[in-house]
Structure 1
Amino acid sequence: MRKKEDVFSRNDFLWGSGTAAYQCEGAWDADGKGLGEWDYFNHNSALNIHNEDGDNASNFYYDYEKDINLMAEGSQNAYRFSISWARIMPTGYGEVNQQGIDFYNRVINYCLEKGIEPNVTLFHYDLPYELARQGGWLNHKITDYFNEYAKICFEAFGDRVKMWSTINEPRYYSYCTNIVGNYPPNRRLDFQSYFQYQYNLMIASSKAIRSFKEMGLDGYIGVVHDNGHVELDPDTINPDEVYEMADFFYNTLILEPSLLGKLPDNLEKMKQKYGFMILHDINEEEIFREGVGNYIGINLYNRQYVKHWEEGESEVFHNNKGTRSNSLEGIRLESLFESSFDPHVRRNKWGREVNPRVMYTGLMELKEKYNNPLILVTENGHGIYESPDENDYVEDNERIEIFSEFLDNLLKAKKEGADVRGYYHWSTMDLYSWINGYEKRYGLVRVDFEDNYKRTPKKSYYWFKDFINNYYSNNRNG
């Protein structure tokens, strides 16, 4: 049986890439898998604006060996992927689908055969449809359903998997489902649901981590949070108050339970500011206290650049249309704060800041505010439009330039004492980018969705391989 110590026994740092089940697997109804919320949404909703779905996605369900081989050939030693809850439990509770367990066993075993450390995420946005029909993450029962699902996965895979993530981006997931309204069930500017979702997701995560410990399992386990590092526009009025409100909105309802084992001290104050209530679990103090993991995963792309509210009703700004929209990513919260837009910072074609410096400032903030936890950068990358040459090869120089800047800032934070021990580039291969569909590409490897899902490594794949090899060479010699 593998041990926790095996994770870093061969390498002092995990260099890899990541995917998520719905975005890459395909086989949406194969081998006993149940219906997922995204299956239902993409097949039935007019809000699927690009009329694309993950039915086949990147065909990873059938081509996983090709992708793992490419990771190994690219000198990657770690792979972050998620399990489809509905593939393990078709309705989210009750019946267990052995064919789903068999599939993930094959993936895990092949990773280990190729020298790749599997990092398994239990929930990455893809809720079983039956649970969505019962109210999804607003139904408190789901926290126990998730705990039972987690225990099944721990039992099935825990002898080999030593790196676990309970929930991917509980804050951003809640933001897209309840504020932006671009993810199912498509509520918009619903702040009550936004905060209740986060609370229930963190109760579920904490219950699963407590079960992990009670089962005597050996390994690393934590939550994955989307970096919400807040920076203030220099012209902000009442900066301390604006910072507190923004940090609560973006961070503390996730980071404090996951790292400190408690709810934020200013929760009651923020309930008044935002005008929401929480339906609390009667055992929350015990659940959070016993549900602290031993690392934090950070998905890091950008900062949250804000200022005081000036005027106007609450409004969310989001761009899922790329160059067909001029919208810049941000939000205005009436009487509280609003996003500021820095004209000196680059943005991608979907209106999001591209600011590699934030890799350093975000990691250092975690070090200083949360007692220097063990950190894995579980997601970081750059989405672009791409055109291959006649050989299906992509010279993604823009990605390489930004990739390099992010990694320079990561190594700077590591050198200055941040306990960061892993980096996963998003994504392993081109995949379904949620509501953006397939034209927004993140992969190190091109997937030709029109030609049997043919894989072709991009220039960035080879650049990352050289970077990893140079890192180990320099460390051995230094």
Structure 2
Amino acid sequence: MDNVNNMPFLWGSATASYQCEGAWNEDGKGLGEWDFFSHTSNKNINHVDGDVSCDFYHRYEEDIRMMKEGGQNTYRFSLSWSRIIPTGIGEVNEEGIDFYNRVIDCCLENGIEPNVTLFHYDLPFTLACKGGWLNNDMAEWFCKYAKICFERFGDRVKIWATVNEPHFYSYCVNMLGNYPPNRSLDVQSYMQFQYNLMRASALAVRTYRQMGYDGIIGAVHDGGVVELDPATEHPDDVFRYADFFANRMILAPALQGQLPPEMDEILEKLGVSLYRSPNDVEEFRDGKVDFIGLNVYCREYVTDWHGGELAVSANNKGGSSKKVEGKCIAPLFESARDSNVPRNKWGREILPGCMYSTIMDVHERYDAPRIFITENGHGAYEQPDADGMIHDDDRIELLGQFIEHMMRAKRDGARVEGYYLWSTMDLYSWINGYEKRYGLVHIDFENNLERTPKKSWYWYRDLISKYQEQEG
């Protein structure tokens, strides 16, 4: 890409390193926190791991070729910190650098713009043993890692993201307790995690600019617009509390260069205090992003707190469980149920219209930033027919609606510049394992990881072509 300020609309797909690479202990890679968790923890409720996954590490050329054949002009992927610096701090693993150089070069040779995320959940185990993202030194360690990545790949990578979903990552680690190190209902750690992640993001953004590269750098948020049950009795307060809990600790530092002004007041209500850097005002001011990536799947549908105890819920068992997503954040707000909105097998609302409301909320409240939809997908159980084809018509229908709502937001003035479908191929879906499939390409995990494009792959190829023709 010659000019990141004058580029065509980007149409691509996305993966994350631990979820797709495999090769967990090859070519000098260090142990990751997810490696340790998957191999040892009784919290690994589905008894699966990412040791091999779809083996992108050895089959990246085939996968990138299929992206090109599918009309995609960009690919969002993450780097494995422990593949590049095995212990998180110190000596660089040149074999890990070589792998990512090959991936980046292969993308460019196929006309695919790499969009690279520095951190997508998979922390080096050595740093996890030092307290992980509760350790305030993590921001400086992350910045040193980021600088190495900029030095080694910045001549070719023009789109960078610092951290993926710091809110949802912290929620899973510290509230749900389904991601390692599996703390439950720990509001103090939930807030400290987000603070340290966003401070790390700010330091990396500042460093990237100081190094003088001609690309853009942003952060990725699991954009969940807050919407209120019409019966809510205190709508202004409930919106403010829920928006702070889900969005503001990420969007305010990233897009406004400051911690949320309402932070101290709401943290006091939650009984939480942050351990802060003495220089964080300047650090956040200098760490505003060039763009925000939004991973759009659902909304935050909430109402007044009705006196219940602190509680959260998720479903990592799929169809074998009746659990649905929800939360009660005492004494601020709680989730509401909308009987008119269906839910998927994992208890999540299916509401494509939240794409429009999420984008426009960020556009209108945060001074019209550049936006990429860095993830949007539909997880499902799938079986091929007699000819080996996956007829994923539900995915096609739902994602078509999501994309139309995105394009409507773009027509209404939002600066949406790219869309990344989750995911490029079937892969390890974190704690859910492999039965929950998101990919455009079917992976036969029982037959040499054979790749077969799904019906949605052909649909997405044709949709990209249609929009590119319209764009001229």
TM-score (norm 1): 0.98
After TM superposition, list the pairs within 5 Å mapping 1:334-353 onto structure 2.
334-353=330-349
Q: Quick check: 2:4–2:215 contact (8 Å CA) kept in 1?
A: no
Where do residues 47-196 of structure 1 align in structure 2 (5 Å cutoff)? 47-196=43-192
- Note the C-alpha offset of 1:7: 7.4
Task: Indicate whether 1:310 and 2:311 are aligned.
Answer: no
Tell me which residue corresponds to 1:281. 277
* 1:305-355 superposed Cα distances (whole Å, 9 cap, x missing partner): 000011321111110000111111010122211000101112110000111
The code of the aligned residue for 1:465 comes to R
**Equivalent residue for 1:354, pick from 335, 347, 350:** 350
Shift of 1:268: 1.1
Distance, in Å, in 1 between the alignment partners of 2:326 and 2:308 is 14
Once the two structures are aligned, what percentage of the paired residues are identical? 57
Following superposition, the deviation at residue 432 of structure 1 comes to: 0.1
Are 1:38 and 2:34 matched, yes or no? Answer: yes
1:106 deviates by 0.2
State the Cα distance separating 1:6 from its structure 2 match: 5.3
Query: In structure 2, what is the equivalent of residue 242 of structure 1?
Result: 238
1:469 and 1:238 map into 2 onto residues whose CA distance is 47
Instruction: Tell me which amino acid in the other structure corresponds to 1:375.
Output: I
* Alignment match of 1:292 (pick from 282, 288, 300): 288
Q: Which digits, 9 at most, give the CA deviation of each residue in 1:400-432, with x for residues without a partner?
A: 000110011000000000000000000000000
Shift of 1:364: 0.6
Where does residue 212 of structure 2 map in the other structure? 216
CA contact (8 A) 1:314 1:333 kept: yes
- Where do 5+ consecutive residues of structure 2 fail to align? none
- Measure the CA separation in 2 of the matches of 1:244 and 1:317: 22
Q: What's the counterpart of residue 322 of structure 1?
A: 318
Query: Deviation digits for residues 200-254 of structure 1, max 9, x if unmatched?
Result: 0001000000000111111110100001210000001111111110000000110
Q: Give the counterpart letter for 1:21 in structure 2.
A: S
Aligned residue-pair number:
472
Q: Structure 1: how far apart are the matches of 2:421 and 2:144? A: 30
One-letter amino acid matched to 1:134: K
Separation (CA, whole Å) in 1 of partners of 2:204 and 2:197: 11
Taking the aligned partners of 1:7 and 1:182, their CA distance within structure 2 comes to 40
Instruction: Say if 2:22 and 2:57, in contact at 8 Å, map to a contact too.
Output: yes
Is it true that 1:461 corresponds to 2:450 in the alignment? no
Between the aligned partners of 2:388 and 2:180, the Cα distance in structure 1 is: 34
Letter in 2 for 1:404: G
Assess if the C-alpha contact under 8 Å between 2:257 and 2:284 holds in 1. Answer: yes
Measured in 1, the distance between the counterparts of 2:88 and 2:105 equals: 25
**Alignment check: 8 A CA contact 1:7 1:117 kept:** no
> How much does 1:54 deviate?
0.2
Which of 206, 220, 232 is the aligned partner of 2:202?
Answer: 206
5+ residue gaps in structure 1?
Answer: none
3-state SS of 1:199 partner: helix
Aligned mates of 1:227, 1:351 — CA distance in 2? 18
SS of equivalent to 2:239? helix
Residues 383-392 or 63-72, more deviating: 383-392
Report the more deviating stretch, 129-138 or 466-475. 466-475
Q: Deviations over 1:170-224 (max 9, x none)?
A: 0000000000000000000000000000000001000000000111111110100
CA RMSD after TM alignment: 0.9
**Alpha-carbon offset, residue 274 of structure 1:** 1.2
Contact conserved, 1:414 with 1:420, CA < 8 A, in 2? Answer: yes
* 2:15 and 2:424 in contact (8 A); partners too: yes
Equivalent pair of 2:229/2:301 in contact (CA under 8 Å): yes
Matched, 1:420 2:416: yes
Displacement, 1:16? 0.2
Q: Give me the whole-angstrom Cα distance separating, in 2, the residues matched to 1:40 and 1:134.
A: 15
Pick one of 5, 8, 13 that aligns with 2:9: 13
CA contact (8 A) 1:430 1:443 kept: yes
Name the residue aligned to 1:407.
Answer: 403
2:270, 2:331 within 8 Å by CA — same for their partners in 1? no
Instruction: Say if 2:452 is the partner of 1:452.
Output: no
CA distance in 1, matches of 2:314, 2:471: 42
CA contact (8 A) 1:7 1:162 kept: no
Q: Which amino acid aligns with 1:98?
A: E
SS of corresponding position for 1:381: coil
How far has the Cα of 1:8 moved from its partner?
A: 4.7
**Structure 1 CA distance for aligned equivalents of residues 131 and 388 of structure 2:** 44
State the secondary structure of the residue aligned to 2:375: strand
**Distance in 2 of aligned mates of 1:368 and 1:198:** 24
Partner of 1:372: 368
- Secondary structure, counterpart of 1:347 in structure 2: coil
Structure-2 separation of matches of 1:328 and 1:313: 18
After TM superposition, the score normalised by the length of structure 2 is 0.99
In the alignment, what sits opposite 1:381? Answer: 377
